[in-house]
Amino acid sequence: MVPNVLSHPLFRAVIVGLLYYSGAWLGVHQTITPDGIAVFWPPNAVLLTAFLTTPRIQWPLYALATLSAECLADIPAFPLWAALSFGTVNILETLIAALMIQRLTGKQFRFDSLKSALVFLVSAPAIASATAAIMGATVYMLLGRSDSSFLAMWRLWWFGDALGLMILTPLLVTLCHAVKYRLVPFKMAKLAELTLLWVGMILTGSNALIDTSINELHFHLTPMLLLPFVVWAATRFNTAIAASTTAIIAGMSTGYLVSGIHPYATTLPQFAVWQTQEYLAVVSIISIGLSALMQELRDQRHRLEFATEALKYQNELLEEKVQERTQSLEQANSELTSLNSRLKELASTDHLTGIANRRQFYEAGERELHRLKHSQGTAVLIALDLDHFKTINDQYGHEAGDNVLRQTLPPVKNNIRPSDLFARVGGEEFLILLPNVEEATAVRIAERIREQIATAKFEVPSGTTRITVSLGVAEWDQACDLSTLINRADIALYQAKRGGRNCTYTYLAGTEEGGQVDPGPV
């Protein structure tokens, strides 16, 4: 029953209102200097934390609770309209910050990465507080209670709100997550280290933040002696401890300043407040950024450890599989046979074009002619060579030349059958063996290939270019072997080259020359 009450939105709204009122009281009575200048404003961090850690549907309840708390805190000193105005300004400030942060990081915001820290610093202290300061300074000017200029009031409001958000929001958000997820408390060794850190920091601060001997030394940077403690907290502990360390430093600095004590040279009270605000801003930025970075590194380390364990598990599974495969010699031999077949396939394939190479063509061609001889079949061989291919290599480079060679394959494959043997046997020379085809049909096929290549556009680095091919056709006489047939096709090919290129010649039986084909319809 109790947990249900604690999680009820109305109960949470009451808690937010009480905490906001406490922060407002603390800001009015503990962070105001004797000259009436506020060092920082704590309560807005309460509302921003509520917005960042709860669903948006509950936000109106929290806004109403904080508006009521603001009025209770301000009415003794301000008229009702001013109290309502101040409350509205603070609600708008935290609302702008929350919406920007969730827009850029998602609805589950945590100080767990540099990105989240940067988004928070830009959205809340920089943009939201500066925007709200314009409205807040306007209300003060309308009250007529300030002797300062509008710009000075804007700066005081901005720095006061910004510091309150920077110092307390990381602490409150982190504590809310710790309660929600029931994080494990510190071990004794960590607790002892934290005690040593805070005791050392308080002792150092009690000497670094006061003005003893300042007229003699004029040593204005003594507060920087507290920065190593901030770095210590951010690198050795979580964000909550780093934020708590910053809050302690802010409390000490503000307490001394409210009492009229500060470590700066003789200066006006307003400038002492500004210097303290700038110092606390630097401390907060270092604390938020460094703790977020360390948390991100810790998360990455955890992910790496998890990945290492997963890899170890996978290695164990792999070792088991290797042992199982080692025990089966038959399976290992089968895999070896498959690998040898693959190697044989690679040895018979042209690496550039993926079609058969010279070796494969000769082996398969001899078998095919042997089969055709017994079945009284016919065959025709086409030799194809790219014209002026050296110019392509010289002008565009060998890589472009290789690409052009690959682009010549589709026009050829589109005009032959899957059962026909197509191979690259030289730099730019190809052979096509057409079983059970007459010479006239082969000539038509050759001419279609030639025309399609001649009209195609080939991609080169500078755009496209055109190429032509010369072809030689030789009909098998059922008596000669493959080498002789190839030689006859080459003779016809060379005749096509001498005949002007971009043409097809056929081998004339009984001669050592070729004759040009009729370039009519194909």
Question: Is residue 343 a part of any domain in this protein?
Answer: no
Whole-number pLDDT of residue 519: 40
Q: Tens of pLDDT along 390-433?
A: 999 999 999 999 999 999 999 999 999 999 999 998 889 999 99
Looking at the structure, do residues 304 and 366 belong to the same domain, yes or no?
no
Which amino acid type is present at position 522? V
The per-residue pLDDT for 186 is 61
Question: Are residues 371 and 449 both part of a single domain?
Answer: yes
- Residue 514's pLDDT band, with cuts at 50, 70 and 90, is low
Same domain? 47 vs 185 = yes
The domain in which residue 387 lies consists of: 354-516
CA distance 501 to 513: 15
Confidence of residue 106 (pLDDT cuts 50, 70, 90): confident
Which are the contacts of 500, defined by CB distance < 8 A and separation ≥ 6?
Answer: none
Let me know if residue 346 belongs to a domain.
no
Tens-digit pLDDT profile for residues 34-43:
655 677 888 9
The verdict on residue 299 lying in a domain is: yes
The reported pLDDT for the residue numbered 267 is: 61
Using a cut of 0.95, tell me whether the model's pTM lies above it: no
d(C-alpha 129, C-alpha 94), whole Å:
8
Distance, in Å, from the CA atom of 153 to the CA atom of 354, rounded to the nearest integer, reads 78
What total of structural domains would you count in the chain? 2
CA dihedral 125, 130, 132, 138 (to 10 degrees): 150
Instruction: Using only the alpha carbons of the chain, give its radius of gyration.
Output: 43
Residue 319 covered by a domain: no
Name the one residue in this structure whose structure tokens are 């002007």.
500
More confident site: 28 or 161: 161
CA distance 288 to 244: 11
Among 40, 319, 249, which Cα is nearest to 163's?
Answer: 40
Q: What is the rounded CA–CA span in Å between residue 361 and residue 355?
A: 10
Q: Which residues pair with 506 in a beta bridge?
A: 473, 515
In a shared domain, residues 64 and 178: yes
463: Cβ–Cβ under 8 A, 6 or more apart, which residues? none
Q: Which pLDDT does position 487 carry in this prediction?
A: 95
**Which has the closest alpha carbon to 42: 54, 60, 29?**
29
Residue 321 within any structural domain of the chain? no
- 63 and 142 in a single domain? The answer is yes
- Please state, in angstroms and as integers, the Cα–Cα distance from residue 490 to each residue in 132, 344, 431, following that order: 89, 28, 10
Mean pLDDT of 362-372: 92
pLDDT for res 64: 94
What number is the average pLDDT over the span 291-306?
86
In this structure, the answer to whether residues 294 and 368 fall within a common structural domain is no
Residue at a domain's end among 308, 324, 343: 308
CATH number at residue 418: 3.30.70.270
Same domain, 137 and 280: yes
pLDDT value at position 246? 87
CA-CA-CA-CA torsion sign (34, 40, 44, 50): negative
Residue pLDDT, tens place only, 243-282: 888 889 888 888 887 777 777 765 666 677 778 888 888 8
| Residue 521, domain member (yes or no) | no
pLDDT digit string, tens, across residues 169-214: 998 998 888 776 655 566 788 888 889 988 998 888 888 787 655 4
pLDDT value at residue 36? 57
- What are the tokens at 226? 């507290």
- Could you tell me if 6 and 76 lie in one domain? yes
d(CA 104, CA 108): 11
Q: Let me know if residue 359 belongs to a domain.
A: yes
* Final residue before a domain boundary, out of 308, 334, 369: 308
Provide mean pLDDT across the span 318-325: 81
Does the structure show a pLDDT above 90 at 89?
yes
For the chain, how far is it from start to end, CA to CA, in angstroms?
93
Is 378 part of a structural domain of the chain?
A: yes
